[in-house]
Amino acid sequence: MTMGETTRVLFVGLGNMGGPMARNVLSAGFDVTVFDLDSARSAELVAAGAIEATSIAAVGAEMDVVMTSLPGPPQVEAVGAELLAAMRPDTIWIDLSTNDLDCARRLQIAAAAAEVHLLDAPVTGGAEGAEAGTLNVLVGGKTDVYERAQPVLDAIGERHVLLGSHGAGYVAKIASVSLCYLHSVCLTEAMLLGVKGGVDPQGMLDVIRHSTGRSYVADRYGPEILNGGYDDTFALALAVKDLRLASEMASTVEAVLPFTERVLEQYRSSLGTFGDDAPHLIAMQTIERENNLIFHEHTADGPKVRRE
């Protein structure tokens, strides 16, 4: 099958990442059907020309490609079982979710039994990258399936690369995203060291953004930490899930990651204070509180130091 405008794509999961990705697949000219447990999320896509599925089972056998963007392994496995029961042989299933190796292996066995071609293809680049279609897609699977899927991958990302056999994409995503959380902690500590030593918060961030410590995290999340917004495009509970997956994967591959474990514990403790749905960078406020200095509470005369 050669993909083109008549290729039928089912997109399952229309959250902060899935919704924009589905819209970009639709904009690229594919025949798109969408499904989400929250039907309100489908409305904008239906208005743009997509078809809303009433259930996965009702449409799975009609699709050439199925794309899933789900919160984590339990959801991927549950939806995957329903999909595999519905999809016909030779369908391509592209899972864009963050997943673990144990779930990945079970999915691959089940997909092979159903004669469905499974690619793991988690993405990096954040919600803004999903909106712009500039994501980095990390792919694991067979070369011939990846080559067939390239047109639809082009619709969601400016870069996609086959990293190895099935599971390689999941591994690369977890390794990569864990570094984002570690960077956030290091950025906050560096900022606090500078500010408590007398440097203006914005001035300290500017120094970091123009030094060897510069990073995406400093550029994108530094301002969110300073303004107290803490980036509400991604929930704290999802960040904890990502770090937990990194910890579990480290055990699976026998890697020793002490700093990752410490950061995971910090994020977990933040859940009890701020709740699952709080913005992910609110975990940085635990470090601010330990230092009696909340960045966004500083005055025109300098930072306001908390004495609690």
Q: How many CA atoms lie within 13 A of 225 on its CB side?
A: 29
Q: pLDDT tens per residue, the chain (308 residues)?
A: 556 557 999 999 999 999 999 999 999 999 999 999 998 899 989 999 999 998 998 898 999 999 999 999 999 999 999 999 999 999 999 999 999 999 999 999 999 999 999 999 999 998 899 999 999 999 999 999 999 999 999 999 999 999 999 999 999 999 999 999 999 999 999 999 999 999 999 999 999 999 999 999 999 999 999 999 999 989 999 999 999 999 999 999 999 999 999 999 999 999 999 999 999 999 999 999 999 999 998 644 444 444 33
Superfamily of domain 172-297: N-(1-d-carboxylethyl)-l-norvaline Dehydrogenase; domain 2 (1.10.1040.10)
Superfamily of domain 8-165: NAD(P)-binding Rossmann-like Domain (3.40.50.720)
Where along the chain do its domains lie?
A: 8-165, 172-297
Give the catalytic positions in this structure.
173
Q: Tell me, what's the pLDDT at 2?
A: 57
Q: Would you say the CATH fold of 172-297 matches that of 8-165? A: no
Total Cβ atoms within 10 A of residue 1: 10
